Amino acid sequence: MDRQDRIAGGLFGLLIGDALGVPYEFHPPDALPPLEQIEMQPPAGFRRSHPTVPPGTWSDDGALALALLDSLLTCDRLDLNDFALKIRSWYEQGAYTPDGIVFDAGVQTVNAIQALQQGLPPYRSGPAGESDNGNGSLMRVLPLALWHTGDDRALVADAHMQSLPTHGHLRAQICCALYCLWARYELAGDTDAWAAATNRLREIYGNGQARIELETHIRPDDLSGGEGKGYVVDTLRSARWA
């Protein structure tokens, strides 16, 4: 495959994987059907999440990934004000959904959107407390990595920035940055893209607060899998496992 095919594969994979997960959302891993039975339509007897949502419908994560992609292509740069308007268009009008219906939204994202609606600028609207480390900004960030043509430092800076409208804590921003570098190196064909991304991020962060946060809370050398939780670090581990 050429580069454009791989980029398209990343975007389609994001939306299809998101849609595949919708019926199983909020279930712990040990309550899921066996892997070979995971389909858009769950097996008989499984208590499906969002039972009124048609199979194949992506969630808020896919919609906000499309909102980010639309903003990047429209502005030819990361413009937080434009991105924030597109986030609101999703929430208020059903933009970027398959059918114009917003059937679910994360609590932290809703709180951030309400702050935007009240006039708070997007670089301050995302909750930033220790408990505000849900996975929303990580779940949508892949288009940034696939679109970006700047160097690694610029990509990391933009990954941090795109998190701010909804997830302001440094930990969520760092997870987005590591994921974007990882995706960039995967796209380039690196045989150990996770390790390459981790080492590069350490170089970029040096010995500052972001490096401390990386080593203390994200611990990229710990290759254990995720536990199916909405915590941003757990979701990053789950993505690596997958």
Q: What is the pLDDT of residues 222-236, one digit of tens each?
A: 999 999 899 999 999
Q: What is the pLDDT of residues 21-32, one digit of tens each?
A: 999 999 999 999
Domain assignments of the chain as residue spans, ordered by start:
3-241
User: Which of the following CATH numbers is that of domain 3-241: 1.10.760.10, 3.90.940.20, 3.30.70.270, 1.10.4080.10?
Assistant: 1.10.4080.10
- For 227, residues 6+ apart whose C-beta sits below 8 A from its C-beta are 29, 234, 238
- For 93, residues 6+ apart whose C-beta sits below 8 A from its C-beta are 100
Q: What is the pLDDT of residues 45-104, one digit of tens each?
A: 999 999 999 999 999 999 999 999 999 999 999 999 999 999 999 999 999 999 999 999
Q: Residue 1 above 90 pLDDT?
A: no
Q: pTM of the full predicted structure?
A: 0.96
